[in-house]
Each structure stands twice: as structure tokens, then as C-alpha cells.
Amino acid sequence: MKTIEQIAAELQGYDPQALSAGRVNDFLSRLVEPVAHSETVGVLEGLGRVVAQDVVSPISVPPHDNSAMDGFAFDSAQLQTGQPLRLRVAGTAYAGKAWPGKVAAGECLKIMTGAIMPAGLDTVVPLEFVQLLDEQVEIPAGVVSAGDNRRLLGEDLMAGQPALRRGQTLGPAALGLIASLGLPRVQVFRRIRVAYFSTGDEILSLGEAPREGAVFDSNRYTVFGLLTRMGVEVLDMGVVGDQPALLEAAFRQAAEQADAIITSGGVSMGEADHTKAMMKQLGDVAFWRIAMRPGRPMAVGRISQGEKSAVLFGLPGNPVAVMVTFLAFVRPALLRLMGCTATEPVLLQAHSAEALRKKPGRTEYQRGIVTREADGRLSVRTTGNQGSGVLRSMVEANGLIVLHHAQGNVGVGDAVDVMMFDGVI
């Protein structure tokens, strides 16, 4: 396990007082190591879990050539260019069992979707394309070509091929795929456990009486939602006052019980509290000033308790800054910790509906509302006030406009990247 100093030495141009967003993710990819332990769960328990071992198909899918349509199956060698084809109907094949007869030259077989294609038949013409003439059908010229409307044995998966790879997250389609292979269980990485607490004497928990200078804690509930959406186990440790003994106890408990620790507040330069000092005392921690907006201060590292160690993410205190740093940095790192191979958010392109002022030299994450225009193009506008304390703007937004480190001003109609929220927050 590499120390903060060793990781920093690997990154060319690393400067903790002026760190680019890209460097942050490079650093975290070296700091965070995937969990090693796995467990086997039933398919219905697998949603959102991460595959720990390749799922190899024990069967071919489909297990035989079959019809993709309700129609008539026949041998395409009988087709003649520009001429209709008239065939006698030899019988009907249904899904779920093989047709026992044999189809001779000049004959076809009425067939239902999913029914096994008998030997010698390679093409299906849909019912609506043919004319029925007593016990015969006439296939008009040009309505089908050889091999149409036939599903081939193993065209989805051949027996022995990986159906799912280690590191993939199990979504609804993946659950269906596993079940289609006849597999009742799947091996997944264990759930990671993330401890979270807010810091500061000015933070009120719900139910406490308001007092002058104090604010109700919103960050805890936001982070709880973000973590729950990821499918991790959340250890909510509430609000910890700015007192050394309380902070030490919270950090020690979190490190003993969790794989990762998230705090909000107490990491800014010159803060008159004890959070940073306790992080330094108990762990191997780096304090950063990131070239970004919002969310400049952040702490990362490890906190140890006995033989256990937990990854630490010390986030800023402003509500929007907490969400932005979580989405940009913490979520990808936690996905890596969970064993995922796909960790970086997918960015979509939209055209800016307004001019945006931006200085090169920092990454900006502006709250945006993406819509589809009449011409089909995606358009995005900001929610207005981009202050880091305006939490309402994160409710109104459906994505973050990502203005990259070297990017300058954006004109109306210019393409910009957007990190969409759907399914994430």
C-alpha cells in the first residue's frame, strides 16, 4: 500500500496547493484499492452489485436456430429472382418443442416466434407478407432474402464464452441475462461500508432548537442519498462537534467499522477548528486546494485504527461544493473501491443556450438544465445563481455543465460537456 508521499512522487507536476481536477482523479486511482472479498448471492439480490468473477455461459443462447417471427419457414434455395414462390404448408411448429415431421422440396412450415427451425430450413417470411391459397402460401417476389427472420444458435452467446466480466455492475438487463443462462446465483464483491459525519459546532441536527449563528445540517442527508444510490452500506455518525476528543472518537470508530470515511467541513485554509489537526494526527492525509469551482478545499488519505485502514475524503462545507466534489471525485473513487472497472462519469454534449464566463486554469461545474430542442439537439442553460450555498439550484438542475481546466469563455450555441444526474442523484 503506497503512502501519500509515494503517490505524489509518481505524479508529474503534483502541487497540492494548485491541483487540477484531472490530477485529483489520477491521485485517487492510485490511492484507492478495490476490495478483495466476494460473496455469492441469488440473482434477485444482485441488482447494483459488482461482478467479482467472470460469468461464463454454460449454454449457447439461443440453444438452437429458431424463428424470429410468426410466419412460414422454408429453404431459401427455392427463391427465384423476380418471381413469386408458391409452397405447400406441411404443418405447424410451435415454440417449446421440436416439430417431428420433415419438410420436403416445394413445402414450407408454418412457424411461431421462438420455435425451433427444422433442418434444411433457413428463412422465415412473416405472416402478413404472404397470400394464403387453401393449403398453399404464395410468397411475393422480393419480400424476403435468404436467412431473414432466423435467430442462429449461439448468436447471443456461445457456451463457454463470458456473459459478464469481472467489474461490471449488475443492472436489470444483466439480471435477466444471468437468469437466461439458468444460473440461480452470481459471485459479487462484498458491499463496501462508508461512514459519514458532518463537523462543526455551528451545525444543528434535525429536531434541535434553532440558535443564532447555527445552521441545520443538509450535507448529511445529501451524502446519505448519494451513497444509498450507489448501493453501499452507510454508517451515519451524525454531527460531530469541533472538539478534539469527539473528533478523535469519531474518526477511530469510522476507521474501525468502515472502508471509507466522508466528512464535510473543517478542511479550508485557516479554519479555526480541530478537524484538520485530527486528520493529520490519526492518518496519512494530504490537504489540497483544487483548481475548481465550486469546491476548492479537499482532504484525502487514510485513517488507521489498529490493523484496519479506511480511505478518507474530507469535503468542503458548502452544500453544492459537497455534491460537486462527491460527483467529480468521491463517487469514481468509491466505484473503484467497490471493484467497478467503469468508474468515470459519461459526459454528454449539449449546446449552451447562454454565454458563460470562464477563466482558463480551473475546472468549473455549473448547474445546468438540459432540454431537447425542436431540431433534436440537446441544449443546456444554467440554473442562474451559481453560489456554492445555493442548494436549491441542485434540485432544479438535471446535470452539471463541465467547463474544463483549459477552457475559456463559452458563446451561445457552443458545445459544452454535461455530467447528467439521472440515476446518480
Q: What is the pLDDT of residues 318-332, one digit of tens each?
A: 999 999 999 999 999
| CB 397, CB 383: distance < 8 Å | yes
* pLDDT value of position 424: 80
- What integer is the mean pLDDT of 293-313? 94
* pLDDT value of position 269: 63
| CB 301, CB 285: distance < 8 Å | yes
Give me the residues paired with residue 150 across strands. Answer: 67
Q: What is the pLDDT of residues 351-368, one digit of tens each?
A: 999 999 999 999 999 999
Domains in the chain (CATH in brackets) are 4-37+190-338 (3.40.980.10), 39-61+155-189 (3.90.105.10), 66-151 (2.170.190.11), 347-420 (2.40.340.10)
The candidate with the shortest Cα–Cα distance to 201, out of 253, 265, 279, 254, is 265
Inform me whether the pLDDT recorded for 42 exceeds 60: yes
Q: What is the pLDDT of residues 77-133, one digit of tens each?
A: 999 999 999 999 999 999 999 999 999 999 999 999 999 999 999 999 999 999 998
Q: What are phi and psi of 222, to 5 degrees?
A: -65, -50
Cell numbers that stand for 88 in this block? 405447400
As a whole number, the mean pLDDT across the chain is 94
How many Cα atoms sit within 13 Å of 413 on the Cβ side?
Answer: 0
Looking at 44-53, 64-73, 186-195, 383-392, which range is the least confident one? 383-392
Inform me whether the pLDDT recorded for 271 exceeds 60: no
Give the three-class secondary structure for 213. Answer: coil
| CB 265, CB 201: distance < 8 Å | no
Give the three-class secondary structure for 345. Answer: coil
Residues 128 and 34: their CA atoms lie apart, in Å, by 55
Residue with cell 485529483: 24
